[in-house]
Amino acid sequence: MPEQIGEIKRLGGWRGSPNSIAALLRHQVLYPHQRQVKRTRGKPIPGGGFGRAERRYLGRLEHRGLLPLDLMALPVWRRLADMPTAKRCPMRLALVLAWDKRHQAPLHWAQVQRQALDL
């Protein structure tokens, strides 16, 4: 069909079909069944993440260049590489936080390092 002058041609996308609305309703999640969110220091962390929130946080630190190279070169850091995410990422985050204060609290740093080695 030839286009008329001034006619607007639609290029696809959602056109308001009742079938597409029914498809969306089929996959909706009711409010009581949505993921619950725990709050930690004012920032939401999804519950039941199994180390995923820590992994994302460590990824952001690495992307910004904030992970110390000296820490990443330690054998305790490299030994955690074979662990599952649920154990590896929370322990690595604890190492990063303890690394920051290793000179002020050397006993805490040694304790965190020992916990990582015991995993």
Read off the tokens for 21. Answer: 């609305």
Are the CB atoms for 98 and 112 separated by under 8 Å?
A: yes
Q: 40: which strand partners?
A: 43
The percentage of residues in the chain with a pLDDT greater than 70, rounded to a whole number, is 61
Q: How many CB atoms lie within 10 A of CB 63?
A: 9
Domains of the chain by residue range:
18-118
Which residues, including other chains, have CB under 8 Å from residue 48's CB and lie 6 or more apart?
A: 35, 36
Which residues, including other chains, have CB under 8 Å from residue 20's CB and lie 6 or more apart?
A: 14
pTM of the predicted structure, to 2 decimals: 0.60
More confident residue, 51 or 73: 73
CA angle 81, 85, 90 (to 5 degrees): 90
Whole-number pLDDT of residue 78: 95
Whole-number pLDDT of residue 72: 94
pLDDT band for position 119 (50/70/90)?
confident
Write out pLDDT tens, residues 23-70.
667 766 666 655 655 555 555 555 556 888 899 999 999 999 999 999
Give the separation between CA 58 and CA 74, rounded to whole angstroms: 16
